[in-house]
Structure formats: C-alpha cells, structure tokens
Amino acid sequence: MYSIELWRHGLVDNINQDDVKDSGNSMSTAQKRERLQEYVAALRKPDLGRLVQDRVSVDRGKLWDLYGGMLVNGNHECKKLSFYSLPRRGEDMTAKASNITTGYVIADLGIDPSQDLVALIEGPTHSKSSSTIRLCSIDSGKHHRLAKKSVIKHTPDISTQNYTYDISISSRYLAILFSSDKNKELAIWNWKTGTLKLRLVGRSLQSFSFWTSHHVLLAVVDTEGNDQPELRIMKFDQSGRKLQIGNAPYLCSFLYPSLAEGATSIRLRFLGSNPVPNWMPRPDPKFPFFLDGQNRAFIVRYDVTNGLKVFTFFLGVPYFTFQSCLDILHICPEKPKRFIWEYWGMKGSRMLPLKVDPDWERSSYGSMFAYLKSRRRSAAFPAKQELVLWDFNPQVPSLQDETQDEPNVIENHIGIFEDDVISNLPVKITSFPLPSSLLKAHPFDGVLLHDRNVILVEARSTHIS
C-alpha cells in the first residue's frame, strides 16, 4: 500500500536512506506512510496563515536561486552570498542562513545543494571577453573537491560583453545559456571533468530545460519572422564542437499552433521544470522519499503580438507527453519527427492565457505550477489576491474544492493563431485566498514553488509558507 501511494503521488524511495539506517534512525513502513500523508497534505493544502516572518531579500536584478530546499541570494557588488535552508513540513518554521564571501564580483550563479555545489560566474571586465565559471562548495566557499578543474573559462560566440545568463545543474552536468540581443549560445559541461559536451549557437534559441540525463528541451522561435515556435529534444552528450541551431541534429520537435498573418512571436521561455533528472536529496530521516524526476510538468511562457496588443499564454506539458511521442518514433521510425500541434498538443498539454509576473521563474515544481491571481487592483496594491495551483498529475484524486478544468479553446478572432487552439489535457486547479490581514501590510507580486514550500514574493522580500 505504501508503494502504491508513493507511485500515485509521483514519489520514490530515497535509496540514500541506507546512510540513515546505519545511524539507527530508520523508519518503519507505518511511519513512512504517516509521513507521506503529512507531506502530501502540506502541498495540496498550504497553510497560508503560517508565514515565516523572516524576510529574505531577492530584489529583481539581484542574484538569487532556489533549488534543493535552499534559497541563495546576494548582489553583483557585495561579493557575498547568503544561503537559506528552507523548512519542510514537520520542522521548525525557520529559514536557517549561512554566508560565504567570494572576493570577486559575481555576475550570476546556480546551485545544487544535494551535491554541495554552487557555480559562480565572475562579472565581466572590459579587458577580457571570456567568462570565468568557478565551481565551489556551498559549505566552505572553496573549490569543489569533485571538480577536476575548479575554474572553467569560456568565450561565447556573442559579439558583445553585455549578455545575461540562465544556469541549470543536473547531476554531473552544468548548462549555461549566454544571451544578448544579437545572439545566444547554450554550453553544457561535465562539471566534474570540465569537458564541454554541447555548444549550440543561434538567435532563435530562446530557452532550455533538462529533459533527461542526456537530453535537453529547447525553446526555439524566430522573433524576426513568422516561423512556428517549437520545442525540440536534443541529445547533448556530444563532442562539444560548435553547432548552429539551424542545422544541429535533434531527436524530434513539437510545433506550436500556426500563427495568423501579421502575428509575431516575442518570447518563448521555460519557467523551470524541477527537480532535474537524476536529482536525489541528501539522506533525511524525516523524509524517506522524494519526487520522481519523471513526475514533472514543463511550463512554457509564450509572448506574441498581433501588432496592436501583446498576448501571454502559458503552456503546461507533462513529461509523459514528450515521452509518448518518442516511444512512437522508436516503434515507427518512418514517422515525421516534427509533431504538429493537433497530434501532440490538443490532448497532451494545456494552454491558457494568463497575466503573470515574468520575473520569478521558479513557479513550478514537479507536476505543479503556482501563480498569484489578483481580483481587483488599486494604485497601490491588489485588494484581493489568490494563490492558484495547477496539478498535472493524473493519478492524484481530486479534492472537494478542486476543479477539473474543461477543454480550453483560444479562439482565432484575436488575431494570434490561424485557427482555434484546443487543449484537452485535464488539470486540477485549486485557489487559496491570501489572508486579508496579510495583504494590508504586504502586497505580493510573485510566487515561488519548491518542494513543500510556497514562497510569496514582495517587491523587496519573501515570506515562506
């Protein structure tokens, strides 16, 4: 029964619990099941009345990352980072903090607490065009003991030093997307050996997300033309030679609906899909399970204009939608490897128009996606706000106050898509009103989701539930 419940909620046993057994803190099956019930209830019924009052500054434009039960933040000038170990249900509701000082200006960062890893990108200077990536220990701030090369230097194929970074770590792989107005480059290394595994260049490359331990999902769209946006699956464990996005080999692609005449894509961007493949937490006697890496929904933000107005659509795609299409290719290799929307998107995804703050990109975790809905706005802040959760896990039974959303239709009269866009994938949608007493003092403008933590973001700080 315990194993069935784990499967239903997209969880797996933590095989690292052998370390816990050796310490004499192992749990019985009955204890595990009780802990599982508490764990699931905390996610599906977040207690918004119990917000941690410790504030963590993660101002827009400053450095921050959220992963593996840890929040890190700093700024570009102070050369200092603060790491906060976030609480889990059943623990003391306090965010514990530690600090490290780098001694150099940091341009961006990425973390994986399960490997005690923080990847730090040094700030660019006018005297050099290459980027310096330092692989450090979160605990000590010193060079990571498993990295054969503690420093990786890379010169992206971008004709400017003014570029931004998107960083993701999956097991032994470190991926960085270098972006400027003129070009983009995705580089993936085996961070333990320092070997470059993929170097993909092209302006149409908008965003990426790890799909499996050796594959990435690419968000590709020509913002200067009328090409259909698409999501591509590409193997990255390759030679590391430079490839152009236009002729790089890929396994298959998933096309968005055809655009109407005059419509132009602006942006196509993943809003995170965690946990990454093969992620495994450190042993924890209180939590002998963790989220299965295949129990994920990929959330994609799509901005498009008809020349008069900008429209924003959010697409939710479970892992199994992509996997089922790949399975078909293995069985019928003669099938075209470009799947049109009617084949994969109508039944395998859900697309909805939403107005959500774009700056906070850790709003999905596992099969769930969270955002804030404002019912009415004043000049200062929303009068009423709700936390809305989408759940794409079909195995989880619906709660009484959850709605099973009906098939959604985006009509073509808005001048964005050529035809009506239908998406039928069931999704459980639950809304939780934020306490009015909280809103009087704290107007929130974003939400982050990680494990059992719902993090509400103010303009200058966060509150953790």
117 pLDDT higher than 80: yes
Gap between the Cα atoms of 384 and 375, Å rounded: 6
pLDDT, tens only, 373-384? 876 555 555 567
For residue 68, pLDDT beyond 50: yes
What is the predicted pLDDT for the residue at 400? Answer: 52
- Structure confidence at residue 24 (pLDDT): 44
pLDDT at 170: 94
Name which residue leads in pLDDT, 459 or 327. 327
| Structure-model confidence comparison of residues 184 and 458, the more confident one | 184
pLDDT band (50, 70, 90) for residue 443: low
Q: What is the pLDDT of residue 221?
A: 92
What pLDDT does 171 receive?
Answer: 92
For residues 338-363, give the mean pLDDT. 83
Question: Does residue 370 sit in helix, strand or coil?
Answer: strand
Q: Tell me if 10 sits within 8 A of 35, measured CB to CB.
A: no
Cβ contacts of 432 within 8 Å, gap of 6 or more: 46, 48, 386, 387, 388, 389
Q: What is the rounded CA–CA span in Å between residue 241 and residue 251?
A: 18
> Would you list the domain boundaries of the chain?
2-464
Rounded CA gap, 425 and 389, in Å? 16
Buried b (16+ CB within 10 A) or exposed e, 424-437: ebebbebebebeee
Q: pLDDT higher for 431 or 301?
A: 301
Model pLDDT, residue 228? 85
pLDDT recorded at residue 20: 46
The stretch 76-94 carries a mean pLDDT of 69
Query: Above 60 in pLDDT, residue 430?
Result: yes
Highest mean pLDDT among 54-58, 103-107, 374-378: 103-107
- Supply the pLDDT for residue 354: 84
pLDDT of amino acid 220? 96
Q: How far is CA 389 from the centre of its chain?
A: 15
Specify the higher pLDDT residue, 445 or 368.
368
Q: If you average pLDDT over residues 436-451, what whole number do you get?
A: 73
For the CA atoms of 159, 162, 164, 170, what is the dihedral angle to 10 degrees?
A: 50
Of the listed ranges 20-24, 237-241, 333-337, 460-464, the least confidently predicted one is 20-24
The three-class DSSP label of residue 443 is: coil
Give the residue, 333 or 190, on which the prediction is more confident: 190
**How would DSSP label each residue in 287-308?**
--EEE-TTS-EEEEEEEEE-SS
CATH number, domain 2-464 = 2.130.10
The pTM of this model reads 0.88
Contact in structure between 66 and 450 (CB atoms under 8 Å): yes
Mean pLDDT estimate for the chain? 81
Going by C-beta distance under 8 Å and a sequence separation of 6 or more, which residues neighbour residue 79?
101, 102, 103, 104, 105, 106
